[in-house]
Structure 1
Amino acid sequence: MRSEKEMYDLILNVAKSLPQVKAVALTGSRANQVAPKDIFQDYDVVYFVEEKKPLLRDRSWLEGFGKRVIMQCPEEMDLFPATLGECFTFLMLFSDGNRIDLMLCPIKNKQEWLVTEKNVEVLWDPTQLLSFLNDGSKKMPYLVKKPTQAEFLDCCNEFWWVSTYVVKGLRRQENLYAIDHLYGNCQRELRRLLTWHVASRQNYTIDTGKNDKYLLKLLSTDTSQQFTQLLDFTTRIKIWESLFSTQQFFHQTAINYADKFDFSYDLETAEDVLNYCRQWAPSDFNANCK
């Protein structure tokens, strides 16, 4: 696997060989000094270009990065359309395991691009195109923000409302529908609540990462194991068990958080939804949920 130095040298050498490229910046986790470092980190790179069309017409220059396993260009996809405006991206995984997410950003769109990025490090800027970054970097940590009362109530309402969708899917024997709502909605709101909870202990100075990827490491061992045990969806009865365990977990965590910060919590609605779900659980399972 090519080393970090080799990759940076390669990224800059390719850029300098292209007359359209006027500056190079690094974003993502490699530009975030507090992000854990490992060999799976992407090289999120931005080439600032005067004109991107020549680089899109003739893409032979991409071969300079090495042999690719797979490449994706979101801006050219119909099923997964990109939302980057005038920018264009090449997402590339190479045979040695390195990955480069390379964006071509027109110079005229640089300020618009900067709004979407929290961490930026300038790698090459011979004409001071990015001088507005002052010291050549932009560092804004992805800290968990303390919720308002309204945000807390929205989180709770979403959790309890979507719980009823899980019941509907299970009673119809539509396991995928039930799992999608349980994991994709209910447990996502539980993760949000746990994120707020753990961040409050550190005065909201932590970053749980994209898709909460650091969350389990920030929780206590017992709490982390408790959440992990919710993820068994192998049978319909396991999904029922996960639903009720998720509800009890969320309910107690919400009560504790509301008490700690003097937030109001709709206890009546939570209990009503719990009772509703229990009424529809299988008869041989319902007794264990009360």
Structure 2
Amino acid sequence: MRNEQEMMKKLIDFAKNDDRIRLVTLEGSRTNPNIPPDPFQDYDLSYFVTDMDSFKENDQWLQVFGKPVMMQKPEDMELFPPELGNWYSYLILFEDWNKLDLTLIPVHEANDYFTHSDGLVQVLLDKDNLVKHEVIANDHQYWIKKPTAREFDDCCNEFWMVSTYVVKGLGRKEILFAIDHLNEIARPNLLRMMAWNIGSEQGYHFSVGKNYKFINRYLPDADWEKLLSTYVENGYEEMWQSLFTCYELFRNYSKAVSESFGYKYPDYDEVITKYTKSIYRN
């Protein structure tokens, strides 16, 4: 696998030698000083260009970065409609297993890019002095934030209401329906509540990572093990127990958050727990 210095040199040298490319930025985890580097990190780059169509005519120019073994062009797919407007992206896995996520952006949209940036941006090349302000990469946008009373109640409401869909799926013997609602909606709100409690105890100057991937660093070992046990979903009884453990964890953490911030603890818990147990017994 080529190292970071080799990859970055190739990506920047190409941009330096191509007059169509006026500005180059690096995004994502490689700009974040709080993320330890590892060989699995993508190279997330953007080229701001004067002529999009000339790049899109064919993909041969990408060969300069290495031999692709897999490539996806999200803006050229039918099943998954594009979401980037005038931008065009290439997701490339090379034969040495480096992965490049390269986005082409019309150069006149540079201001919009920086306006809507998540903060994890580093300017690598600026041929025309387009960037008039200092850009310092930071992950502040992803730091834990103190919830308002309404946000707290909304989270509780969503968790307990969506749990009824999990129950319904299990009651009907529709396990994939139940798994989907637990994984996609209910558990993410449990993780959100856990993060809020971590913030209340340790402050709001850090992130627990994308998809809460670092949350185990801040949880008691027993709670981390309980959380992991909720991912056991290979049968109906296993799903019921995962759901009940989610209830237990959400109850404990939401009560802690309500006490910490002086927010009213809602009565959703009592009602939905009673409902769930009545269906489970049948």
TM-score, normalising length from structure 1? 0.93
Which position in structure 2 is the counterpart of 1:139?
Answer: 138
Which position in structure 1 is the counterpart of 2:51?
Answer: 51
- 1:79-118 pair list within 5 angstroms: 79-114=79-114, 115-118=116-119
Structure 1 gap ranges (5+): 284-290
What SS class does the counterpart of residue 69 from structure 1 fall into?
Answer: strand
Q: Match for 2:149: what amino acid? A: Q
Which position in structure 2 is the counterpart of 1:166?
Answer: 166
- CA–CA distance in structure 1, aligned partners of residues 110 and 88 of structure 2: 13
- Does the Cα contact within 8 Å between 1:86 and 1:109 map onto a contact in 2? no
- CA–CA distance in structure 2, aligned partners of residues 23 and 250 of structure 1: 46
What SS class does the counterpart of residue 137 from structure 1 fall into?
Answer: coil
- CA–CA distance in structure 1, aligned partners of residues 44 and 133 of structure 2: 18
Q: Match for 1:120: what amino acid? A: V
- 1:196-207 pair list within 5 angstroms: 196-207=196-207
Which position in structure 2 is the counterpart of 1:119?
Answer: 120
**CA offset digits 1:41-89 (Å, max 9, x no partner):** 1111010111111000132110111111211111111222232221111
- Does the Cα contact within 8 Å between 2:251 and 2:269 map onto a contact in 1? yes
Which position in structure 2 is the counterpart of 1:233?
Answer: 233
- Does the Cα contact within 8 Å between 2:226 and 2:245 map onto a contact in 1? no
Count of equivalent residues: 280
1:140 CA displacement: 4.6
Q: Match for 2:263: what amino acid? A: F
1:138 CA displacement: 4.2
The answer to which of 207-216 and 237-246 deviates more is: 207-216
Q: Relative to 1, partners in 2 of residues 1:86 and 1:63: Cα closer, same or farther, differing over 3 Å?
A: same
**CA offset digits 1:160-215 (Å, max 9, x no partner):** 10111011101111000001111211111000001111122221112122211211
The answer to whether 1:15 aligns with 2:15 is: yes
Which position in structure 2 is the counterpart of 1:35?
Answer: 35
TM-score, normalising length from structure 2? 0.95
- CA–CA distance in structure 2, aligned partners of residues 202 and 83 of structure 1: 37
**CA offset digits 1:242-264 (Å, max 9, x no partner):** 11111111112111111121111
- CA–CA distance in structure 1, aligned partners of residues 149 and 237 of structure 2: 35
Structure 2 gap ranges (5+): none
Which position in structure 1 is the counterpart of 2:72?
Answer: 72
**CA offset digits 1:98-151 (Å, max 9, x no partner):** 111101111111121221331111111132122x232x4343522111110000
What SS class does the counterpart of residue 103 from structure 2 fall into?
Answer: strand
